[in-house]
Amino acid sequence: MTTIAIIGAGPGLGAAVARRFGGEGFDVALVARTPERVAALAAGLTGQGVTARAFTADVRDPKALAAALDEARAALGPIEVLQYSPVPQPGFMRHVLETTHADLAGPVEFSVYGPVAAVQRVLPGMRELGRGTILFVNGGTAVVPHPDRAGTSIAFAAESAYGHLLHDTLAPEGIHVAQLVIPGAIIPGHPRKDPAALADTLWELHRDRHGFRHFADDLDS
With a cut of 80, say whether residue 49 has pLDDT above it. Answer: yes
Going from the C-alpha of 20 to that of each of 6, 72, 137, the distances in angstroms are 12, 19, 16
Whether this prediction's pTM lies above 0.85 is answered by yes
| Residues 6+ away with beta carbon under 8 Å from 37 | 10
Q: What pLDDT, on the 0 to 100 scale, is given for residue 7?
A: 98
pLDDT at 201 over 90: yes
pLDDT of residue 64: 98
User: Which is the CATH superfamily of the domain at 3-148+158-215?
Assistant: NAD(P)-binding Rossmann-like Domain (3.40.50.720)
Closest CA to 91 of 101, 110, 106, 102: 106
Confidence of residue 89 (pLDDT cuts 50, 70, 90): confident
**To the nearest whole percent, how much of the chain has pLDDT over 70?**
100
Residues 213, 170 contacting (CB under 8 angstroms): no
The per-residue pLDDT of the chain, averaged, comes to 96
pLDDT tens for 155-166 read 999 999 999 999
